[in-house]
Structure 1
Amino acid sequence: MKNYLKNQIIYQVYVRNFTKEGTFNAFNHYIKYIKDLGTDIIYFLPVNTIGKKDRKGDLGSPYSIKDYYEINSELGSLEDFKNTISLIHKENMKVMIDIVFNHTSKDSVLLNKHPKWFYKDKNGNINTKASDWTDVYDLNYLNNDELVNYLVDVIKYYIDLGIDGFRFDVASMVGVNFYQALKEKVLSKHPEIIILGEAIDSDFNNYLRSEGFKVCDDPTLYQNGFDLLYQYNNFKYLKEYLETNNLLSLTKFKLLKSYEYAFNPENALRIREIENHDQKRIIEYTT
């Protein structure tokens, strides 16, 4: 565990929406401003090419990735991205990027080359485990060393570009065999790399397990290289309190928070938030 992270500020950036231009080059003008806010780490939402098949909206979701090795040209070129990384480092900040290894777009380059790497439903169709994720297909990690090795190489590629950390989308749904390989082949050689996980909420976790799917619990993620996890295991009670002012909900939140310290590894760290890009903004609770 990296205890220094307790006092670090992570600033999240969605390049497409951050400026009128929606590009790395336009964002660069704000790096010094973000530094002056006290930021230690700039975390970018996915910067890869977005799939077109069944995409959500005209622009598509950045979490529906077509090619892990390709930068979304709407944001800029690879050289533009490398320049942004360099400028952030010059301000003594780290760069973290979003990694989406649970699923890909429906027109992913991997689907054409490696259809066996994808999850199939009970009818034998390539699909996703979440019914409302209509623009993606899930990857299948079961007995799939080729997929694991491919994705480990993706991480190595971005480390070579200068990336300092990775935020894993729906980290609980990615195969533990990938995290074990990542820890052995990458983190053992690059212990400075920061690993943040979006651990899923308890209700979704229970649903997936009831359907027979494998899910990584929080202790497993911590034991396999994660430095930070979301607080989704108890977030619903915090939301209930913010929505209703019911003190019982706040008590449940505090109780589960104390369980975290008791049952997770020593010095395990959580990202604490009252809002994020998947949840209501705090102003919605106060109006």
Structure 2
Amino acid sequence: MRTIYGLISFLSIFALISCKDKPDKKSDSPSMKKKEVVYQVFTRLFGNTNTTNKPWGTIQENGVGKFADFSDKALSEIKGLGVTHIWYTGVPHHAVINDYTAYGISNDDPDVVKGRAGSPYAVKDYYNVNPDLAIDPSKRLEEFKQLIQRTHDAGLKVIIDIVPNHVARNYEGKTNPEGVEDFGASDDTSKEYDVNNNFYYIPGEAFQVPKWEDGYLPLGGDENRLADSKFEEIPAKWTGNGSRLAQPHFNDWYETVKINYGVRPDGTNDFDELPEAYRLKDYKDHYEFWKHKTLPDSWHKFKDITAYWLGFGVDGFRFDMAEMVPVEFWSYLNSNIKMINPDAFLLAEVYNPSLYRDYIHKGKMDYLYDKVELYDSIKHIMKGYGWTDHIPVVQKGMADIEHHMLHFLENHDEQRIASPDFVGNAQLGKPAMVVFATISTSPTMIYFGQEVGEPGAENAGFGKPTRTSIFDYIGVPHHQRWVNNKKFDGGQLSEEEINLRDFYKRLLNFTINSEALMGEYQEIHFYNKDNTEGYDHRVLSYVRWSDHEKLIVVSNFDVHNQYNFNLKVPEDVVSKWQLSDGEYNLDEALYGEVKKTLNIINGQGQIQVELEPLQSYIFNIKE
């Protein structure tokens, strides 16, 4: 889920990123680790082989994937793609339209559930998992624990979602550990706000279901005894996106309620502010700062939730809409997480560039989405109206936090590359993925099905195609061809899909084994644009290096035109690499069979390059 920051102009972004503090080197250094690659998978869709794809189809009609579908073979193939972490999206028990009353789970009301399978970001019980994902719902926690073990046995780490900003409107913790009180159980509902209330209230008013718009009806109009445009909630609570109306708008996050972190309705805080000096302190200092302070109850509840899942074997978390929660809370939560597991992988959804450094340095996030900066810039280039000139400018502005800005081209919120609403052709993602994966020391993320060109074309029910549905039971056709009736061998893929997956596999495996990609970066784009005939704004080039590896990366974003030019390596790069005049053989990491030479004449390097449309090269200097 996200708010809209896409309207921020590039000029305002540059103004924001130019005002940056200098972090301590220790906390920002990648420490020469290898690159990390996250495979985001929508858990209930991954192993579903049903191809019915009826809009608003039931679980019986359209099918659903299970934890068990992530077999040793499936996980081995994901690992072989060049992946280090799996983000299992949609694991915590969220509201669903399916009858699990036999297992002690209450039915969910379609009037406050989006879709039939429900939003994974409307969590109903934080101490259990989605019963849809289990072969035996009574043993769903055991089945998830087995999945964690299989994932670890495959050499992969496990990430799940935590959604601190809001919970399902019908939150009901049926399986809380002993001594854990449910959200809102002790709230004083006569007050709009109290520092220890978990929710905000609208005293004297009852919740009203939104007025449905654009022909929408819950469950597509299918009969359900609970789909009556009524949901009992007295008094009404604030909605997850901050709406204070007893009847939220159809476009509000009406299925959720906002969590209170001690932020008063007027925006002031009922907790200590974190001193500016803590930007430069590590998580242990942050932990000590909060250890003896009196804090809002919701802070403790989410600390206990994350500790529970760490104890389960989870290796990290992706935090939904982190910027809607105070940065001081993140300092508290993340320092507590790191005290349990210093290597925990902490990824946050933050879209406002002016907040990036606060959430990294004060909030102790490991990684943030690089959405408004690099993703939006490259999307414009892919769509044909952006210039590669913008990319080096973005990287320069992010230089102090580049390691923390996770790169992606698809995720569950974004349009599929192959969707007509994006570029309609998965091949156009190739140069973009090379840049995302090699331009910085940050992790790379891909979304399941991206590697075979999934277009997200299915009308699943709630919402519109272009994004693979996160709200309904549906099959994912291109991905299903790779699943191949759970053989997970790509046996039904077309030749083009096989070649696309092979491209991702070669690229990602190179990145996780490259020392240079955790080393230095310098753009050579503008030098070549000024000095190289035949080089223009549809091409991008830069260099990466470490003590033992020197890389030259060049990509062609043009879908129609070939480029032939004599790529220049500037004198200052040659000097930094301590190369003498002469001829150096080059290996090429993506295609292998391409053999080139780097000729250094009077301190300047030159490589004769022929780039086909959408082609990239990663040249490695052999000394």
Do they superpose with TM above 0.5? Answer: yes
The structural deviation recorded for 1:71 is 1.0
The structural deviation recorded for 1:83 is 0.3
Return the match for 2:85 from 18, 29, 41. 41
1:161 aligns with 2:316: no
The structural deviation recorded for 1:243 is 2.7
CA distance in 1, matches of 2:337, 2:316: 12
Q: What does residue 240 of structure 1 align with?
A: 380
The structural deviation recorded for 1:92 is 1.5
1:113 aligns with 2:185: yes
Q: What does residue 412 of structure 2 align with?
A: 277
1:286 aligns with 2:448: no
The aligned amino acid for 1:86 is Q
1:19 aligns with 2:47: yes
Q: TM-score, normalised by structure 1?
A: 0.84
Q: Secondary structure at the match of 1:58?
A: coil
1:187 aligns with 2:187: no
Contact persistence 2:44–2:90 (CA under 8 A): no
Q: Secondary structure at the match of 1:7?
A: coil
The aligned amino acid for 1:256 is V
Q: What does residue 399 of structure 2 align with?
A: 261
The structural deviation recorded for 1:172 is 1.4
Q: Structure 2: 5+ residue runs without aligned partners?
A: 1-27, 49-63, 96-107, 135-139, 173-181, 188-196, 206-235, 243-250, 263-269, 271-294, 425-623
Contact persistence 2:92–2:125 (CA under 8 A): yes
Return the match for 2:367 from 217, 222, 228. 228
Q: What does residue 133 of structure 1 align with?
A: 253
Contact persistence 1:119–1:128 (CA under 8 A): no
Q: How many residues are treated as equivalent by the alignment? A: 269
Q: Secondary structure at the match of 1:117?
A: coil
The structural deviation recorded for 1:125 is 4.5
CA distance in 2, matches of 1:99, 1:183: 12
Q: What does residue 102 of structure 1 align with?
A: 165
CA distance in 2, matches of 1:5, 1:55: 42
The structural deviation recorded for 1:112 is 4.8
Q: What does residue 476 of structure 2 align with?
A: none
The structural deviation recorded for 1:155 is 0.6
Q: Deviations over 1:109-130 (max 9, x none)?
A: 3555255212457998422336
The aligned amino acid for 1:129 is N
Residues 126 and 201 (structure 1), Cα distance of their counterparts in 2 relative to 1, 3 Å cut: same
CA distance in 2, matches of 1:197, 1:277: 14
Contact persistence 1:171–1:200 (CA under 8 A): no
Q: Deviations over 1:233-270 (max 9, x none)?
A: 324333333334232xx5445433321224x4xx6321
The structural deviation recorded for 1:137 is 1.2
Q: What does residue 349 of structure 2 align with?
A: 198
The structural deviation recorded for 1:11 is 0.9
Q: Deviations over 1:20-79 (max 9, x none)?
A: 241101222511221222211111113112123410111111111011111111112000
Residues 281 and 2 (structure 1), Cα distance of their counterparts in 2 relative to 1, 3 Å cut: farther
Return the match for 2:129 from 66, 71, 76. 71
Residues 165 and 227 (structure 1), Cα distance of their counterparts in 2 relative to 1, 3 Å cut: same
- Percentage of identical aligned residues: 28
CA distance in 2, matches of 1:6, 1:174: 31
Q: Deviations over 1:161-215 (max 9, x none)?
A: 111111111121122232121234331342111111111245xx8xxxxxxxxxx
Structure 1 range deviating more: 273-282 or 24-33: 24-33
Residues 270 and 6 (structure 1), Cα distance of their counterparts in 2 relative to 1, 3 Å cut: farther
Higher helix share: 1
- The correspondence of residues 139-158 of structure 1 with structure 2, limited to 5 A, is 139-142=259-262, 143=270, 145-158=296-309
The aligned amino acid for 1:56 is K
Contact persistence 1:195–1:226 (CA under 8 A): yes
CA distance in 2, matches of 1:176, 1:158: 22
Q: Secondary structure at the match of 1:280?
A: coil
Q: Secondary structure at the match of 2:39?
A: strand
Q: What does residue 329 of structure 2 align with?
A: 178
Residues 6 and 167 (structure 1), Cα distance of their counterparts in 2 relative to 1, 3 Å cut: farther
Residues 47 and 5 (structure 1), Cα distance of their counterparts in 2 relative to 1, 3 Å cut: farther
Contact persistence 1:197–1:229 (CA under 8 A): yes
Contact persistence 2:40–2:411 (CA under 8 A): no
Q: Structure 1: 5+ residue runs without aligned partners?
A: 206-216
The aligned amino acid for 2:46 is F
Contact persistence 2:159–2:316 (CA under 8 A): yes
Contact persistence 1:46–1:99 (CA under 8 A): no
Contact persistence 1:2–1:227 (CA under 8 A): no
Residues 2 and 146 (structure 1), Cα distance of their counterparts in 2 relative to 1, 3 Å cut: farther
Contact persistence 2:123–2:168 (CA under 8 A): yes
The aligned amino acid for 1:233 is V
CA distance in 2, matches of 1:132, 1:6: 41
Contact persistence 1:6–1:269 (CA under 8 A): no
Q: TM-score, normalised by structure 2?
A: 0.40
Residues 2 and 90 (structure 1), Cα distance of their counterparts in 2 relative to 1, 3 Å cut: farther
CA distance in 2, matches of 1:111, 1:158: 17
CA distance in 1, matches of 2:342, 2:258: 29
CA distance in 2, matches of 1:2, 1:167: 21
- Tell which has more relative contact order, 1 or 2 (C-alpha 8 A, sep 6+): 2
Contact persistence 1:201–1:232 (CA under 8 A): no
Q: What does residue 37 of structure 2 align with?
A: 9
Residues 119 and 58 (structure 1), Cα distance of their counterparts in 2 relative to 1, 3 Å cut: same
